[in-house]
A and B are shown apart, each in its own frame.
Chain A
Amino acid sequence: MESNNGGGSAALIGSSGTVILSPPQQQQQTVDVHQLPCCIKSNGPSDVSNYFKPKSSGIEVDGGLELKEAFYRGRNLQGFTVPLPEGYSGFIIGKKNSNKDKTKKTAGTGKAPEISSNSSENHWETLAKCGNMTFWNHDSLPSQDDASMRVFHWFAVAKALHEPVSAEELT
């Protein structure tokens, strides 16, 4: 996931694509999603469940969530698992390869996929679902004030913004 210094990205703004959330032939698997406080410069599958072993502490932190502890590359991580708000679902999506009738996983290419300027290739489909996310901090207790947690505030704002307004409410 390296950035490039070339220009031309602006030309892409406004291009469109599709995200297919329910591929008919694929049984949707529910997976655990972890957000780590580091950048792993690699894309691809790994035997995460054999190496990443979060442990529950039995201690409740901010917001009544249970504190978890894990280690990654020698660092101590502290985190909690946050259920997605009612009415929301999490999807792991991968880029759909238009040339072949086969899914080219974002997570399976071994390097960062190129942004295609051809909008017809910008099609994504669901690889798995998640019902919660685990957010990890390095050396600090997870909190509702963490930037990753504050992202969820958007849901309430979006709801208020998009909710139909009745005639009485306008007066």
Chain B
Amino acid sequence: GALPKWALEPCMMGIDEAGRGPVLGPMVYGCLYCAVSFQKTLASLEFADSKTLKEEKREELFESLKANESIGWSVDVIDPRELSAKMLKKSKINLNEISHESAMGLVTRVLNMGVLLTQVFVDTVGDADKYCTKLSERFPSIKFVVAKKADSLYPVVSGASIVAKVTRDRALRNWTFDESAENMHRNFGSGYPGDPETKAWLEHHKHSIFGFPTLVRFSWGTCTTYFKDGAEVLWEADGALDEEGTANKNGKRQLKLSNLGFTGGKRNSEEIESSSKGRCKFFQSRKLEQLVQF
């Protein structure tokens, strides 16, 4: 909609996250902003840290802040597929970097809407001072306050935490699986690795070849314990395979990707390594070899 008039006054914003720790579902960054002059009224709205509130109360507060014309809000929902993919890239991106980028994305989005942001309160991720420096360098016109437990210290961050938490809960509740396998269900529990309901869900949904449904964050250490019974998968990005698709010498596994699925036979490592030697470059560079035995 149109930009409210108060957005042209100096504004403050709070940023908080929901679903950073869970092994499944999206991670959500939420923000809430209002005019600095609205600060006192905001404090009277009784937003508390979303984690201390019951789900119903959070939903109720979310609806009331959505209806409040003196408040603006926005969310960034980071899909579990995106989280896993980024953290498992060839050059891996860690969760702190993803979190920082998401928070900065929200600041950019709100600034681009034309809101005059002058102060932004952020719950810290990693070292607070370093994070504050990073934010201040990116947005020199904004005064940042980065603090631990900002969600319980600043009402504007408490409000942001409600936005984030309600959005994450709804996303999980309404999750549509990519997979079409039978016997899947949505009793995820909290999604935290220690939650017995989450553990049971993971145990029930693990798959020897595919690992888990894409709802799960494959980059979480928790997953490794469930993969122990499943098929081992080697990736070039993990250093298990070199550029040629040949397993690293250190790994004592010599495999050619170009052969995978085409040869099932046991192959001598020397045979594979020497197979391209003395062959025409045309064949070498195309990973083609004459297969007499297969």
The chain B residue sitting closest to A117, CB to CB, is B293
Tell yes or no: B89 within 8 A of A by CB.
yes
- Contact (Cβ within 8 A) A43 B181: no
B227 nearest CB across to chain A (Å): 9
- Contact (Cβ within 8 A) B236 A74: no
Selected A-B contacts with CB under 8 Å, 17 pairs: A3-B267, A3-B268, A4-B266, A9-B267, A37-B257, A46-B208, A46-B209, A50-B180, A71-B81, A71-B85, A73-B211, A74-B217, A106-B264, A112-B264, A112-B266, A114-B266, A150-B286
Which B160-211 residues have C-beta < 8 A from chain A?
178-181, 207-211
Give the docked Cα–Cα distance between A4 and B253 (Å).
Answer: 9
The chain A residue sitting closest to B266, CB to CB, is A4
Tell yes or no: B272 within 8 A of A by CB.
yes
- Contact (Cβ within 8 A) A9 B232: no
Per-position 1/0 for A9-30, Cβ under 8 A of B: 1101111000000000000000
B210's partner among A12, A46, A106, A147 (CB-CB below 8 A) is: A46
Complex contacts, B77 vs chain A, CB 8 Å: none
Interface residues of A toward B: which range? 35 or more
Give the docked Cα–Cα distance between A38 and B239 (Å).
Answer: 11
A75's partner among B85, B213, B223, B255 (CB-CB below 8 A) is: B85
Which B210-226 residues have C-beta < 8 A from chain A?
210-211, 213-214, 216-219, 223
Top 4 A-B pairs ranked by shortest CB distance?
A: A74-B218, A74-B84, A42-B231, A76-B85
Contact of A147 with B286 at beta-carbon distance under 8 Å, contacts A52-B210, A113-B264 already known: yes
The chain A residue sitting closest to B80, CB to CB, is A74
Complex contacts, B213 vs chain A, CB 8 Å: 51
- Contact (Cβ within 8 A) B231 A3: no
- Contact (Cβ within 8 A) B269 A42: no
Per-position 1/0 for B125-145, Cβ under 8 A of A: 000000000000000000000
Complex contacts, A157 vs chain B, CB 8 Å: 282
Give the docked Cα–Cα distance between A75 and B210 (Å).
Answer: 11
Which B244-264 residues have C-beta < 8 A from chain A?
245, 247, 253-255, 257-258, 260-261, 263-264
A119 nearest CB across to chain B (Å): 9
The chain B residue sitting closest to A119, CB to CB, is B293
Give the docked Cα–Cα distance between A113 and B183 (Å).
Answer: 33
Complex contacts, A43 vs chain B, CB 8 Å: 264
Complex contacts, B236 vs chain A, CB 8 Å: 37-38, 138
The chain B residue sitting closest to A113, CB to CB, is B264
Tell yes or no: B241 within 8 A of A by CB.
yes
Give the docked Cα–Cα distance between A60 and B210 (Å).
Answer: 28
B262 nearest CB across to chain A (Å): 9
Tell yes or no: B90 within 8 A of A by CB.
yes
Tell yes or no: A86 within 8 A of B by CB.
no
Tell yes or no: A102 within 8 A of B by CB.
no
- Contact (Cβ within 8 A) A3 B207: no
A133 nearest CB across to chain B (Å): 10
- Contact (Cβ within 8 A) B271 A9: yes
Known A-B contacts: A7-B268, A113-B264. Give 11 more (CB < 8 A): A1-B255, A1-B264, A3-B255, A10-B271, A38-B236, A47-B181, A51-B179, A74-B85, A74-B217, A138-B236, A150-B285
Tell yes or no: A148 within 8 A of B by CB.
yes
Contact of A39 with B247 at beta-carbon distance under 8 Å, contacts A3-B272, A50-B180, A74-B85 already known: yes
